[in-house]
Amino acid sequence: MGDYDHRSIEAKWQRFWEERRLFYAPRDARRPKYYILPFLPYPSGDLHMGHMRNYTIGDAVARCKRAQGFNVFHPIGWDAFGLPAENAAMVHKTHPRTWTLKNIARMKEQLRLFGFGYDWEAEVSTCEPEYYRWNQWFFLEMLKRGLAYRKKSRVNWCPRCQTVLANEQVVEGCCWRHEETPVEQRELEQWFLKITHYAEELLADLDKLAEGWPERIRLMQRNWIGKSDGARVQWAVAGSDKLITTFSTRLDTAYGAVAVLLAPEHPLVNELIAGLPGSAAIARKVGVLRQQTRRAQVTGEVEKEGIFTGRFAANPFSGDQVPIWVSNLVLMEYGTGAVQAVPAHDQRDFEFAKKYRLPIKVVIQPLATKPLAASAMQQAFTGPGRLVDSGPYTGMPSEKALEKMMDDLARKGRAEPVTLYRIKDWGISRQRYWGTPIPVVYCNACGIVPVPEEQLPVVLPLEVEFTGVGLSPLLNVPEFINTSCPKCRGKARRETDTMDTFIDSSWYFYRYLSPHHDTAPFDPDLVRRWFPIDQYIGGAEHAVLHLIYLRFWTKMMRDLGLVDHDLAVTRLFNQGMVIKDGAKMSKSRGNVVSTDEMVEKYGADTARLFTLFAAPPEKDMEWTQAGVEGCQRFLQRLWRVISKHAPRLRPVSPNPASRPSPLGEDERDLLRKAHQTARRVTTDFDSRWHFNTSIAAIMELVNELYALEPLEETVSPPVLKEVFDMAVLLTAPFAPHLAEELWQQLGHPQSVLETPWPQTDPELAREEECEIVIQVNGRVRSRIRVSEELPDSEVLEQALADPRVAGLINSQRIAKTVVVPKKLVNIVLAS
């Protein structure tokens, strides 16, 4: 029998899989397709076990789907451009490309050590000219259609480095290299993509994704797009012919306005304060607020502040004069850069008014509670109600008043209805080196001239010097900058900004299908056959930007005639984090678990099994050494019991027709357990991916085998071979190396990867059910039927997911739960 030598066995089967190209997906196969992939990884260096959880989930699903008869395409590549490589070049005195390629080689080695079944023939790396050539092509196509344009925009500027900083390089308002230097705001010409052109479509499509995308991700995207139906309203500045245009979604609260707030960058600010007493001091304060507003956009942590300009504006309804303030509450990028401040009915305005002792005027009273008194309010009332102290609109329901007030003011030419979106056009200019060059030149005679398509790619030069000071290093490469104008052949200068690396990751999954296609970004026939993606897996930290950008990119390609679909990804899965020592596993916290050490000491199969067994994959999991060792013991038990009996079972056929008749009681119980396990594992793969319960079910089956030892006396060879085969095939997605070795020991000539998924006998797989009563705080709220074999943890999970129960619990904290097996679940809510 021998011990399970994971080192030699895992290396053996990794070589076997690669030599046989068993993970290659024929692009033109007639079997049903299944396209699954992880988010594009950044090659940052050594992978740790926090990373491996994501890849293990996808690999387990891919292996199961392959066994179920699907033509599985499971590729991976590298998000190879980006700021970390440029920073590393300065720190380690190396080139970003050298650092990146070294990391890619290292990470590929680690992924192979874990036996992940990627189709390496589809690999792409975004820093290669054959890839980023098409970034440039897309840019030129968007430029032709007005979807790419140039305008001035603010950037983070370090006066000491004399360079632009990414948001990530701003630490508490200061430069990351020397924290004593405050970051300034400067305006530079920047390139933008018109993502707002698709804002309404991006919003509407979230409803189409209801079945396949997590609700919290769709909500985050909905909020980021941020549709607001409201009104632009004109306020006359006292003693002036100037008008301030505010944006409001609650015109029904206008009689409660106690101030007009302007963004610090509002173009009227300087005019309003010019010539007033103390204008110099006001201007200095406005300068401070401008810096704070930008910092708030980056960190969200700036305290609300403002300053009175000394000027007033007339309320367009009441005519009352209200003070004009400048405040970092207001962003110039959203709405009109000016708002009416109504502290009684907006929480941010309420906090601002309390701080600066502005009056609070209640103009909407709730219908179902006692009237509000401004002096007693602890927070704003933001709901609907009935208007009070609102002139001719007093007594009207707020919804009706909103419509009436809009109509009345519009007839006077002082308001217009408008729909605005929080999402802004995508600024793609980066004053950095390690990215895709933007394919335009600047000619004194012709202006901005796109690089002709036949001259693509504009190749990033490799001979550059990194100092960390000044703008892009490309400015110091005359061979790159100096060129000729494609129109007039005169002298021209290349654009030295590079593209945001989110562009690289917005369409790479199309390129996987034809990574070396040289006449278009991808082969359209293969895209029609393989899209949409069946399963996309990655962390929730990419919930907003990456997932919005990829949706935008697909729509843009549809309008270019490259694809015939609206949605690239039908199903999205966000895995939970790996927690160690109370914090997310990460290099910066120093709490990582080395993948190399795990593979050396315990084996890749043990590491894979533990990451899937410790918790449901969408939940955070706690890393424990005891859990790792427990999984290792289980694999050793499985190895021992099958290896012990495999030699005599090699010639035995596991065909059900070979079973003895009649079956012995132990044999029938064992077969029932095996088929019930197969049904459970299959259900988990086909629906909720609760691999922890799948593995627990396989462990129970192995326990059953040990309980029947000596198996040669209690179970006939055909039955035992059938059960062993099922156990191995069900284990294969989780511990594939061990499964392959045991499958070979059992006498099977083909690989597990070439073997169909086990079929269950409905009669043997049937489980007795029982009714579970669900109580909330002692009161019966629902009843569900579950398998009598279901563990208590799963019963509780199903009880909590019951719609009648979930609606009652909502966001309340659960104090404790009690499960009485096969009878009752009681959920006690915190009082």
Any idea which of 5-9, 403-407, 451-455, 770-774 has the lowest mean pLDDT? 770-774
pLDDT of residue 302: 65
Q: What percent of the chain has pLDDT over 70?
A: 97
Q: What is the pLDDT of residue 298?
A: 43
Q: What is the pLDDT of residues 309-345, one digit of tens each?
A: 999 999 999 999 999 999 998 988 888 999 999 999 9
Band of residue 640 on the pLDDT scale cut at 50, 70, 90: very high
The pLDDT assigned to 299 comes to: 44
Q: Which residue from 806, 202, 132 is spatially nearest to 549, judged by alpha carbons?
A: 202
| Residue-wise pLDDT tens digits, 686-730 | 988 999 999 999 999 999 999 999 999 999 999 999 999 999 999
Strands of the 491-494 sheet, one edge to the other: 447-450, 440-443, 491-494, 482-484
Q: Selecting from 3.40.50.300, 3.20.20.70, 3.10.20.590, 3.30.559.10, what CATH number does the domain 769-829 have?
A: 3.10.20.590
Report the C-alpha gap between 705 and 699 in whole angstroms: 10
Residues 6+ apart with CB under 8 A from 823: 770, 772, 773
Q: Please give the sequence-ordered ranges of beta strands (E in DSSP) within 315-359, or none if there are none.
A: 321-327, 338-341
The residue count for the chain: 831
Fold of the domain built from segment(s) 612-620+639-765 = Isoleucyl-tRNA Synthetase; Domain 1 (1.10.730)
CATH topology of domain 227-421: Isoleucyl-tRNA Synthetase; domain 2 (3.90.740)
Report residue 475 as tokens: 């400015």
| In contact, 529 and 71? CB cutoff 8 Å | no
pLDDT tier at 831, thresholds 50, 70, 90: low
- Dihedral of CA atoms 439, 443, 445, 451 in degrees, nearest 10, equals -20
List the chain domain ranges: 33-144+198-218+427-575, 227-421, 612-620+639-765, 769-829
For residue 631, the model assigns a pLDDT of: 97
Q: pLDDT digit string (tens) for 780-790?
A: 888 888 887 77
Max distance between CA atoms of the chain, in angstroms, equals 105
Question: Can you name the residues that pair with 340 across neighbouring β-strands?
Answer: 260
Least confident span in 367-371, 415-419, 610-614: 367-371
Q: What is the mean pLDDT of residues 485-507?
A: 96
What distance in Å separates the CA atoms of residue 270 and residue 632, rounded to the nearest whole number? 70
* Percent share of the chain, pLDDT over 90: 73
Q: Return contacts of 417-420, CB within 8 angstroms, 24+ apart.
A: 417/229, 417/230, 417/231, 418/229, 418/230, 418/231, 418/232, 418/247, 419/227, 419/228, 419/229, 419/230, 420/227, 420/228, 420/230, 420/247, 420/334, 420/335
Rounded to whole angstroms, how far apart are CA atoms 229 and 82?
A: 37
pLDDT of residue 166: 62
**Distance (Å, rounded) from C-alpha 166 to C-alpha 357?**
37
Residues 199-240 have pLDDT tens digits of: 999 999 999 999 999 999 999 999 989 999 999 999 999 999
pLDDT mean over 151-169: 75
- What interhelical angle do 736-745 and 604-613 show, nearest 10? 120
Nearest by Cα to 46 from 119, 96, 108, 1: 108
CATH of domain 33-144+198-218+427-575: 3.40.50.620
Contact partners, residue 625, CB within 8 Å, separation at least 6 = none
List phi, psi (to 5°) of 195: -65, -25
Is the Cβ–Cβ distance between 52 and 607 less than 8 Å? yes
How far, in Å, CA of 534 to CA of 212, rounded? 9
Q: Find where tokens 């290349």 sit.
A: 494
Instruction: Return the axis-axis angle of helices 604-613 and 6-19, rounded to nearest 10°.
Output: 90
The string of pLDDT tens digits covering residues 38-48 is 999 999 888 99
Average pLDDT over residues 528-552: 92
Instruction: Give residue-wise pLDDT tens across range 573-587.
Output: 999 999 999 889 988
Q: Is the pLDDT of residue 161 over 80?
A: no
Cα angle 334, 308, 251; round to 5 = 45
Concatenated DSSP letters of 579-628? EETTEE--TTTT---BHHHHHHHT-HHHHHHHHHHSS-TTS-EE--HHHH
